[in-house]
Amino acid sequence: MLKVLEYRAKIKALKDEGNVILAKVDTEKRAMTADEKARFESVNAEIDAVESRMDNYIKVNRIPDEELRGGTMTAPQKPAKPTFRSIGEQLQAVANFATGRGLDNRLVENRAATGLNEAVPTAGGFWVEQSLVGALLKAAYDTSAVANKCRRLPVGPGNNGLKLRTIDETSRASGSRWGGVQVYWEAEADSTTSKMPKFGRFELNLDKIMGVCYTTSELLQDAEQLGAVITQAFSEEIGFKMSDGVIRGTGAGQMLGVLESDALLSVPKDAGQTADTVSSTNILGMWKACMGRASAYWFYNQELEDQLQLLTFPIGTGGVMANLFKPGGVGQDGTILGRPAIAVEQASGPGDVGDIILMDPTQYIIIDKGGLQTAESIHVAFLTDQSVFRFTYRVNGAPALKSKITPYKRTSSSFYMSPYVAIAAR
């Protein structure tokens, strides 16, 4: 019954978090922001996953209904399992085990709670303790200007990916919305045609991000410093790699980036446009073609910033300032047409597709499972007195849409819309 109590406590904590978001939105009488919506959906997905695990546990263990309803639901008091005070302290324990200096019982005692590898430790590795890895991964997403705005969905036990039923909608024309649903006014009844929705499948399997960190024997002696170095280095690098994957991932053994997606919409460059430039008509063309503008973000190469500030409209002989871009203050994002504009290293160089991107990140899905797994070796850099830690994080991501969308009404047959918009190469 203790396990059921743990599941119920987790579900209650998730529900409390969801209710906090709802209460904040209700108090301020507004719609959810993109970040709030993404987290709210993630919380609900986690609740479904935990409830499913709890139901399976109850079935397997044949726990009677009367026991679930009351009576014996009070959990016996057990002594708290010993935990590590910091990630540095746990890495010290892993290093000591790898070098034959004994196995710290905390690596074993926390197996059920923290996800210690079920295999023989010498054949595998150790999961970083959950209370510690949560902070490390949070820092990784916090430092990722792109990935932290995407829709993040956890993968439950026994699964290695995500499969979702989707509506196969590529056009907003009548008879194509929702993949084929169509309704009529009563007067049109004589000309009705039978239609049914068309469904598709969004399928995404987990891949891995792997990292290696070399540490000197001196650094291993200082748990606090080791933890600080590992946390900062890996959180920043994982965050960087995640944003790079959202934008430029190839989809081959890694995330599929929007620049490699068939759903990317590249608006045409201006006639006679100078190489490596961005114009006001480029920006307006991107805005016109963007779906999900209420939650969209601009991501751009910082080298374009002076051009963005000097954008003009071609009126008169010299033109007039467009004022489309408004730079932010220190530590603040700028805006373009009222939506946040963020300089990111992962954007392409000026003139290449992806030097500036307008996208709705809620239409990009990231899946992950568990936390970080670590293994340690003293042999790789033995002659330089270094130990090597290898970290593994199971994660993947892809755009939610597979193609551009044909709008309901359009004049030009070449006009499409998409949540992922860039400018053609200049």
CATH classification of the domain holding 151 = 3.30.2400
Please tell me the predicted confidence (pLDDT) of residue 181.
57
In DSSP terms, 207 is beta-bridged to 395
Based on the domain organization, do 51 and 147 belong to the same domain?
no
Give pLDDT tens digits for 301-343: 999 999 999 999 988 777 799 999 999 877 788 999 999 999 9
What 3-state class would DSSP assign to 220? helix
Residues 198 and 95 in one domain: no
Instruction: Check whether residue 65 and residue 132 sit in a common domain.
Output: no
Of residues 65 and 228, the one with the higher pLDDT is: 228
pLDDT band at residue 123, thresholds of 50, 70 and 90?
very low
**Claim: this prediction has a pTM higher than 0.85:** no
pLDDT in tens, 245-299: 999 999 988 999 999 999 999 999 999 999 999 999 999 999 999 999 999 999 9
Residue whose pair of structure tokens reads 């290293």 in the numeric block: 345
193/215 Cα distance (integer angstroms): 69
Q: What percent of the chain has pLDDT above 90?
A: 31
Distances from the Cα of 97 to the Cα of 113, 126, 219, 380, 391, angstroms = 20, 11, 17, 16, 17
User: Do 179 and 44 lie in a common domain?
Assistant: no
Residue 271 corresponds to which amino acid?
A: A
| Rounded distance between C-alpha atoms, residue 212 and residue 205, angstroms | 23
Which helix (H) or strand (E) is 257 found in, with range?
A: none
Q: Does residue 267 fall inside a structural domain?
A: no
Closest to 247 (Cα-Cα) out of 224, 230, 234, 264:
264
Pair (118, 231) in one structural domain: yes
Structure tokens at 245: 């994957």
β partners of residue 393: 209, 372
The answer to whether residue 360 is domain-embedded is no
pLDDT value for 421: 98
Q: Give yes or no: residues 11 and 109 share one domain.
A: no
Q: Kindly state whether residues 91 and 148 are assigned to the same domain.
A: yes
Same domain, 7 and 58: yes
Residues 146 and 20 in one domain: no
Q: Are 169 and 177 in contact (CB under 8 A)?
A: yes
Q: How far apart are CA 415 and CA 265, in angstroms?
A: 10
Write down the pLDDT at residue 246. Answer: 96
pLDDT at residue 375 above 70?
no
Same domain, 189 and 59: no
Same domain membership, residue 176 and residue 42 = no
- The DSSP annotation for 5-36 comes to HHHHHHHHHHHHHHHHHHHHHHHHTSPPPHHH
* 107 in a structural domain: yes
In a domain? residue 403: no
In a domain, 266, yes or no: no
Rounded Cα–Cα distance for residues 378 and 28 (Å):
55
Examine residue 54 and state whether it is found in any structural domain, yes or no: yes
Residue found under tokens 């994957």? 245
Q: Return the axis-axis angle of helices 87-98 and 223-248, rounded to nearest 10°.
A: 100
- Which domain does 58 fall in, by range? 2-69
Q: What is the dihedral of CA 390, 146, 251, 207, to 10 degrees?
A: 30
pLDDT tens digits along 79-107: 455 577 777 787 777 777 766 777 777 76
Residue 409 lies in a domain: no
Distance CA 281, CA 284 (A): 5
Query: Which of 11, 40, 69 is at the close of a domain?
Result: 69
Residues 118 and 40 in one domain: no
Q: Number of folded domains in the chain? A: 3
3 state DSSP class of 57 = helix
79 domain residue, yes or no: no
Spell out the residues 6+ positions from residue 386 whose beta carbon is closer than 8 angstroms to its own.
214, 215, 216, 217, 380
Residue recorded with tokens 């709705």: 360
- Which of helix, strand or coil describes residue 288? helix
> Which residues have C-beta within 8 Å of that of residue 1, sequence separation ≥ 6?
63, 67, 72, 73, 75
155-178 burial: b if 16+ Cβ within 10 Å, else e: beeeeeebeeeeebbbbbeeebbe
